[in-house]
């Protein structure tokens, strides 16, 4: 079973996979209203029941599918870039007595395993992007829970800085996944309850098993929400708190946002071509080549010039395109398991762009660009495909683009004395582009020899193949005689392995070192949820997810595992 | 499909489950030889092919099943308690050119999902017990890899402090699970490679996909082993290094070990009765009651008296019995999903025993007892069953036995003014009985209010129900009117939920706070392995685990997830 072919989606000619687009903008939103009032933006959920990605289900009660979450992700991103004057965001609902009922169960029931997994991954990334904006961009989020808040609805609220619940005798927060559906609150819910809100584990155990949830005073006592207010006071209290939070921001007091235009892409059956990124697919070998081009021509050197360049500023443009290519791969090209990563262009131009970003990283817009690059690279770390970087003459694995080689599972660098070939680092490799584990990719790579991190960062000359191999910056450096065979065989061997075993292996090897709430969500919680998404007690003929909404009661195999 | 009914195992009369016993001793070993030479013990693997737990497979090439690992766990435990004069342990093989081929693949292929999961869990705990002995008991372990060392064989070696590999042109270390079987090296292998040995992730990626593994110099360069030695020097080098490591130990120079006798248990169809622990099973409700009795009579107060009491010293005896009961539940009673935890006896006696342990915790034997209690409580944390502690008049949730209530998913304390009822803490709740996450159970419980940990520890008077509830030490304190219904309904509701969803939920809620290599192994790695153990690419009709050893080649669904 594949994912959903929505009514408005183009159908992929060769494989009949749906082509989901992640490109949207506020005037196209069908499920959210984004409004502004000075320093406070309000994101109101008003899901259109009949506008799901598939006609197979109706998005009742503010339940959501991937399409709804794509709009949410877009809105958060636009607030960051387009509205620096916004310092606080209120997330609420326009529906009567319902905040959000969570992920649509009929969507989940009908979805393939891979679709469920990728859906959850994207929604997790969106919630983490909210927390990233709070931690790094001076944007505070309030969940104004003005009605029933269940499952994924509560998980969305948990991503906010403050959860304010209306005390109307009806509105509760709940995680009914386990008691009703025999699955987990897998969009960070279990992790955030005990690790972010630090709810006592026994109370969390109770909360996670009572379908009706917890409301009023008890919700505050258990720290499931920060405050409850009577209906008559709710709007005023939310507004007051939003104003207070907005005053804590270090974002500009007014104006100056840049506008994020649609990406310029040409799509053919086996390729996507953006201005600086291309993706070319070899369906027979199940291999794609992802190429990122360095900037060309003059680069802006000041925040004002960067603002003027706007979404055409190379780091922003190239990483937006990279982000889109990665999402496309995940959702629209499930069979393409091995990704060759290439770069082209002038390494000096990338290093120069990185230096500008570093020099002005305290400027709000530059800060946004750098954090967006960081999130895109995290998206790569979390993409369940094998990445092999090929460093060849003419390539441009320098600075921020060298992160692509570091994010790859392996790298091969051609060592041909006749054809110069090098990699280079910039200050961006030393700091802001952290992984989910809180470390830079260099720190993760050199976990066993931490002194190497500084050593390689201090070396501002390019590394030739021998030096790169010696410094541990690339995996292999075959010579020109071995190159073709060695690379070809490695790719063929990779593409022949079980995709599931590779997903599990990569998920374990890529995140050495410390764990964070983020890695716990993607490692522990997601892995258990994926397991449960395979278990007959959830998805079998008599499983709870299958039985939901029908007359049938679930029947469980009670063997514990 | 159930687990294995070995030839020598009693068959459970009511459910036809095999009854696996974890009780063994060196004279009964069939797969290991344990020899002693001064301060160095040698554990030699010599697996008897036809002595597996089931006749369905043969344990060729030093491959192992649960029975082999039960002997290994027993040997490590006995070295700690019975042989304090041993300061270093060499793990090696008596087979020609084979160190260990890992978990038996035909066993895995034929095993039920639950059996695979519990097998891996126990083998993980055994390897972590080796590391615990190294970290806390002055026992250093050398893997003397004198032949092919594959999969679980290498994972066993990874648990040792030093890995010495023979350089004979043949012997390699390898993790062939992914390329050969489409599963993971799930006994800590992936985690230990990047997190313990800090092998660079790209090299680990290569290592994890080449079935033949890595040998010789490269194995050292990649830090997969610590040294390689030619065949002619191997034995001497191992012996020399073992002697060197043994000199670093703080264990006694000679004698004084205590002997661990067989546990005294009476078994009936629905109950196990040990001297201080009982387990009574209600098969209709799928509920068991686990009861631990406090010590009675005079307790030894000095290390000499403790040594004289030996395995009858209450903390050691009671926790050995508890450990056995937990393992029995896991492997022999898979359908019993909810465990009521009770205690009986005199709280003052437990506190007194705890005080003796604390006062003498630097004595080698007392240290062993305390760390064994710690490991048993960890076994409880990691047991995939729901635990509800019932604190009633006459109960004894005090000090180390209060850890049972803290380890439980919830606790209910009867608040009946007519019948006094209390819980109490001891110094043991404040220190050595840490969880896998490195925190005490109180620290984990009060993650959001860390100041409470000291507050409750300073309160040496017992907590009555109101005080316990107020201090956050119990979940609920119903009065005598509500008690019966509230507890009964809670247990019934729990037993009705999907066992898989509960396993996933508990695995996420129980380990709030920091992650360690240990929690990574049980959280991230195990969860991914369990997922893969469900995937058709591994266990389906054309999956790699299914196809292994047959003429058929595996056929994969290449959709990435």
Q: What is the pLDDT of residues B409-466, one digit of tens each?
A: 999 999 999 999 999 999 999 999 999 999 999 999 999 999 999 999 999 899 999 9
- B contacts of A385 (beta carbons < 8 Å): 560
* Unique residue bearing structure tokens 């009770």: B342
CA dist., res. A186 & res. A203, Å (int): 18
Task: Please report the pLDDT score of residue B18 as a whole number.
Answer: 55
Sheet of strand B172-174: strand arrangement: B98-100, B148-150, B172-174, B214-215
Sheet of strand A227-230: strand arrangement: A32-37, A40-45, A88-93, A140-145, A162-167, A227-230
CA dist., res. A278 & res. B352, Å (int): 71
**A148-150 and A98-100 as β-strands: parallel, antiparallel, unpaired?**
parallel
* Unique residue bearing structure tokens 């260990």: B100
Chain A nearest-CA residue for B115: A561
Task: Please report the pLDDT score of residue A551 as a whole number.
Answer: 84
Task: Please report the pLDDT score of residue A18 as a whole number.
Answer: 55
Nearest to A561 among B205, B503, B528 (CB): B503
- Is residue B12 predicted with pLDDT exceeding 80? no
Chain A nearest-CA residue for B450: A198
The mean per-residue pLDDT over the stretch A136-154 comes to 98
Tell whether B10 lies on the interface with A, counting CB pairs under 8 A.
no
Nearest to B537 among A191, A449, A500 (CB): A500
Task: Please report the pLDDT score of residue A5 as a whole number.
Answer: 33
User: Is A432 in contact with A371 (CB distance < 8 Å)?
Assistant: yes
Task: Please report the pLDDT score of residue A124 as a whole number.
Answer: 98
Q: What is the pLDDT of residues A257-292, one digit of tens each?
A: 999 999 999 999 999 999 999 999 999 999 999 999
Q: What proportions of chain B, in percent to the nearest 5, are helix, strand and coil?
A: 45, 15, 40
SS3 B463: strand
The mean per-residue pLDDT over the stretch A470-476 comes to 98
Q: Which of A183, A332, A509 to mutate to test the interface with B (most CBs of B within 10 A)?
A: A509
CA dist., res. A488 & res. A493, Å (int): 9
Are residues B499 and A193, on separate chains, in Cβ contact within 8 Å? Answer: no
SS3 A24: coil
CA dist., res. A142 & res. A369, Å (int): 24
Q: Which of B505, B511, B535, B537 to mutate to test the interface with A (most CBs of A within 10 A)?
A: B505
Min CA distance, A225 vs chain B (Å)? 14
CA dist., res. B553 & res. B542, Å (int): 8
Q: What is the pLDDT of residues B35-58, one digit of tens each?
A: 999 999 999 999 999 999 999 999
B254 — pLDDT class (breaks 50, 70, 90): confident
Mind giving me the DSSP string for A147-183?
SEEETHHHHHHHTSSEEEEEESSS-EEE--IIIIISS
The mean per-residue pLDDT over the stretch B226-239 comes to 98
- Is residue B31 predicted with pLDDT exceeding 90? yes
Chain A nearest-CA residue for B442: A200
* Unique residue bearing structure tokens 């305290």: A362
Interface contacts (A, B; CB < 8 Å): 286
CA dist., res. A152 & res. A187, Å (int): 7
Mind giving me the DSSP string for B210-240?
-TT-EEHHHHHHTTSSSEEEEHHHHHHHHHH
Min CA distance, B406 vs chain A (Å)? 9
The three-point CA angle A466-A471-A476 to 5° equals 55
B526 Cβ neighbours under 8 A, 6+ residues apart: B117, B120, B121, B124, B186
Min CA distance, A531 vs chain B (Å)? 4
Are residues B524 and A510, on separate chains, in Cβ contact within 8 Å? Answer: no
Tell whether B283 lies on the interface with A, counting CB pairs under 8 A.
no
Are residues B497 and A114, on separate chains, in Cβ contact within 8 Å? Answer: no
B397 — pLDDT class (breaks 50, 70, 90): very high
Chain A nearest-CA residue for B193: A509
Candidates A299, A320, A319; CA nearest to A309 is A299
A255 — pLDDT class (breaks 50, 70, 90): confident
Min CA distance, B92 vs chain A (Å)? 27
Helices (H), B83-192: 105-110, 113-136, 152-158, 189-191
- A contacts of B339 (beta carbons < 8 Å): none
Nearest to A504 among B337, B499, B529 (CB): B529
A351 — pLDDT class (breaks 50, 70, 90): very high
Q: What is the pLDDT of residues A296-315, one digit of tens each?
A: 999 999 999 999 999 999 99
Phi (first) and psi of residue A273, to 5 degrees: -125, 115
CA dist., res. B367 & res. B358, Å (int): 9
- B contacts of A530 (beta carbons < 8 Å): 527-528, 531, 561
Min CA distance, B543 vs chain A (Å)? 9
- B contacts of A177 (beta carbons < 8 Å): 501
The mean per-residue pLDDT over the stretch B151-179 comes to 98
Candidates A404, A407, A298; CA nearest to A356 is A298
Are residues A512 and B475, on separate chains, in Cβ contact within 8 Å? Answer: no
Q: Which of B333, B451, B500 to mutate to test the interface with A (most CBs of A within 10 A)?
A: B500
Task: Please report the pLDDT score of residue B419 as a whole number.
Answer: 97
What's the token pair of residue A133? 């904006």
Q: What is the pLDDT of residues A31-58, one digit of tens each?
A: 999 999 999 999 999 999 999 999 999 9
- B contacts of A113 (beta carbons < 8 Å): 561
Mind giving me the DSSP string for A86-153?
--EEEEEE-STTEEE-EE-HHHHHHS-HHHHHHHHHHHHHHHHHHHHHHHHSS-EEEEEE-SEEETHH
The mean per-residue pLDDT over the stretch B303-307 comes to 97
Tell whether A336 lies on the interface with B, counting CB pairs under 8 A.
yes
What's the token pair of residue A201? 């584990």
User: Is B147 in contact with B129 (CB distance < 8 Å)?
Assistant: no
- A contacts of B472 (beta carbons < 8 Å): 200
Tell whether A326 lies on the interface with B, counting CB pairs under 8 A.
no
Task: Please report the pLDDT score of residue B483 as a whole number.
Answer: 98
How would you write A430-461 as a 3-class SS string?
Answer: HCCCCCCCCCCHHHHHCCCCCHHHHHHHHCCC
Candidates B3, B31, B36; CA nearest to B18 is B3
Q: What distances in angstroms separate CA A505 from CA A73, A527, B160, B215, B526, one per listed residue?
A: 29, 12, 22, 21, 11
Min CA distance, B389 vs chain A (Å)? 11
Task: Please report the pLDDT score of residue A19 as a whole number.
Answer: 81
Tell whether B183 lies on the interface with A, counting CB pairs under 8 A.
yes
User: Is B226 in contact with B162 (CB distance < 8 Å)?
Assistant: yes
- B contacts of A546 (beta carbons < 8 Å): none
Q: What is the pLDDT of residues A488-498, one digit of tens each?
A: 999 999 999 99
CA dist., res. A171 & res. B243, Å (int): 68
The mean per-residue pLDDT over the stretch A18-30 comes to 92
- A contacts of B181 (beta carbons < 8 Å): 501
Q: What is the pLDDT of residues B342-375, one digit of tens each?
A: 999 999 999 999 999 999 999 999 999 999 999 9
Are residues B202 and A475, on separate chains, in Cβ contact within 8 Å? Answer: yes
Candidates B454, B451, B474, B455; CA nearest to B464 is B474
Tell whether A538 lies on the interface with B, counting CB pairs under 8 A.
yes
Kindly tell me the burial class for residue B330, based on how many C-beta atoms sit within 10 Å of its own C-beta (0-12, 13-18, 19 or more). Answer: buried
Helices (H), B314-450: 314-332, 347-359, 364-381, 402-407, 441-445
Task: Please report the pLDDT score of residue B69 as a whole number.
Answer: 98
Chain B nearest-CA residue for A178: B501
- Is residue B15 predicted with pLDDT exceeding 70? no
Tell whether A212 lies on the interface with B, counting CB pairs under 8 A.
no
The mean per-residue pLDDT over the stretch A176-188 comes to 96
Q: What is the pLDDT of residues B78-98, one digit of tens each?
A: 999 999 999 999 999 999 999
CA dist., res. A430 & res. A449, Å (int): 15
**B277-282 and B287-293 as β-strands: parallel, antiparallel, unpaired?**
antiparallel
What's the token pair of residue B70? 């039960």
Task: Please report the pLDDT score of residue B195 as a whole number.
Answer: 97
Tell whether A493 lies on the interface with B, counting CB pairs under 8 A.
yes
Tell whether B204 lies on the interface with A, counting CB pairs under 8 A.
yes
Q: What is the pLDDT of residues A75-122, one digit of tens each?
A: 999 999 999 999 999 999 999 999 999 999 999 999 999 999 999 999
Burial B59-86 (b: 16+ CB within 10 A, else e): bebbbbbbbbbbbbbbbbbbbbbbbbbb
Chain B, 368-427: which have a CB under 8 Å from a chain A CB? 384-385, 408-411
Tell whether A290 lies on the interface with B, counting CB pairs under 8 A.
no
Tell whether B1 lies on the interface with A, counting CB pairs under 8 A.
no
Nearest to A508 among B182, B190, B512 (CB): B190
The three-point CA angle B202-B205-B207 to 5° equals 110
Tell whether A508 lies on the interface with B, counting CB pairs under 8 A.
yes
B459 Cβ neighbours under 8 A, 6+ residues apart: B425, B471
CA dist., res. B79 & res. B487, Å (int): 43
A387 — pLDDT class (breaks 50, 70, 90): very high
B222 Cβ neighbours under 8 A, 6+ residues apart: B199, B200, B203, B207, B214
- A contacts of B529 (beta carbons < 8 Å): 504
Candidates B531, B545, B508, B525; CA nearest to A113 is B531
- Other CB atoms within 10 A of residue B552 CB: 11
Are residues B114 and A560, on separate chains, in Cβ contact within 8 Å? Answer: yes
Chain A nearest-CA residue for B116: A561
């Amino acid at each position: 079973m594949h994912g959903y072919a929505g009514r408005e989606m183009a159908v992929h000619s060769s494989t009949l996979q749906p082509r989901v687009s992640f490109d949207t903008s506020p005037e196209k939103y069908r499920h959210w209203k984004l409004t502004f009032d000075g320093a406070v933006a309000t994101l109101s959920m008003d899901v259109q029941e009949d506008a799901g990605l598939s006609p197979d289900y109706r998005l009742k009660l503010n339940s959501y599918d991937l399409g709804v979450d794509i709009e949410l992700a877009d809105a958060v991103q636009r607030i960051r870039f387009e509205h620096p004057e916004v310092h606080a965001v209120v997330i609420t609902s326009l529906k009567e007595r319902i905040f959000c009922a969570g992920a649509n169960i009929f969507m989940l029931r009908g979805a393939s395993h891979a679709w469920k997994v990728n859906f959850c991954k994207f929604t997790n990334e969106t919630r983490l992007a909210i927390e990233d904006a709070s931690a790094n961009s001076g944007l505070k989020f309030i969940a104004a829970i003005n009605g029933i808040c269940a499952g994924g609805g509560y998980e969305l609220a948990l991503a906010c800085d403050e959860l304010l619940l209306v005390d109307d005798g009806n509105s509760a927060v709940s995680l009914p996944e386990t008691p009703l559906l025999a699955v987990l609150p897998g969009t960070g819910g279990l992790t955030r309850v005990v690790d972010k809100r630090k709810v006592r584990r026994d109370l969390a155990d109770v909360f996670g098993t009572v379908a009706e949830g917890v409301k009023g005073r008890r919700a505050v006592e258990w720290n499931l929400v920060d405050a409850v207010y009577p209906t008559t006071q709710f709007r005023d209290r939310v507004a007051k708190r939003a104003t207070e939070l907005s005053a804590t921001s270090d974002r500009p007091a007014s104006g100056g946002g840049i506008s994020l235009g649609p990406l310029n892409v040409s799509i053919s059956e086996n390729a996507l071509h953006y201005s600086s990124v291309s993706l070319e697919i070899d369906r027979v070998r199940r291999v794609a080549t992802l190429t990122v081009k360095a900037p060309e021509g003059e680069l802006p050197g000041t925040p004002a010039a960067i603002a003027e360049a706007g979404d055409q500023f190379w780091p922003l443009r190239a990483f937006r395109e990279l982000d889109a290519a990665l999402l496309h791969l995940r959702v629209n090209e499930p069979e393409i398991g091995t990704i060759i990563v290439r770069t082209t262009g002038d390494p000096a131009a990338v290093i120069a762009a990185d230096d500008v970003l570093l020099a002005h990283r305290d400027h709000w817009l530059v800060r946004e660009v750098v954090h967006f690059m960081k999130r895109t690279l995290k998206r790569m770390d979390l993409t369940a495909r094998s990445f092999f970087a090929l460093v060849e003459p003419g390539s441009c694995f320098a600075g921020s683009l060298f992160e692509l080689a570091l994010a790859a599972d392996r790298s091969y660098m051609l060592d041909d004395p006749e054809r110069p070939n090098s990699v280079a680092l910039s200050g961006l490799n030393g700091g802001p582009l952290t992984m989910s584990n809180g470390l830079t990719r260099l720190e993760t790579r050199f976990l066993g020899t931490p002194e190497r991190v500084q050593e390689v960062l201090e070396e501002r000359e390019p590394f030739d193949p021998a030096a790169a191999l010696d410094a541990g910056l690339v995996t292999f450096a075959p010579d020109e005689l071995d190159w073709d065979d060695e690379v070809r065989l490695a790719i063929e061997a990779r593409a022949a392995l079980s995709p599931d075993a590779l997903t599990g292996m990569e998920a374990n090897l890529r995140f050495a070192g410390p764990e964070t709430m983020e890695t716990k969500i993607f490692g522990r919680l997601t892995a258990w949820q994926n397991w449960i998404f395979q278990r007959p007690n959830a998805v079998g003929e008599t499983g709870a997810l299958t039985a939901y909404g029908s007359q049938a009661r679930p029947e469980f195999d009670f063997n514990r595992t």
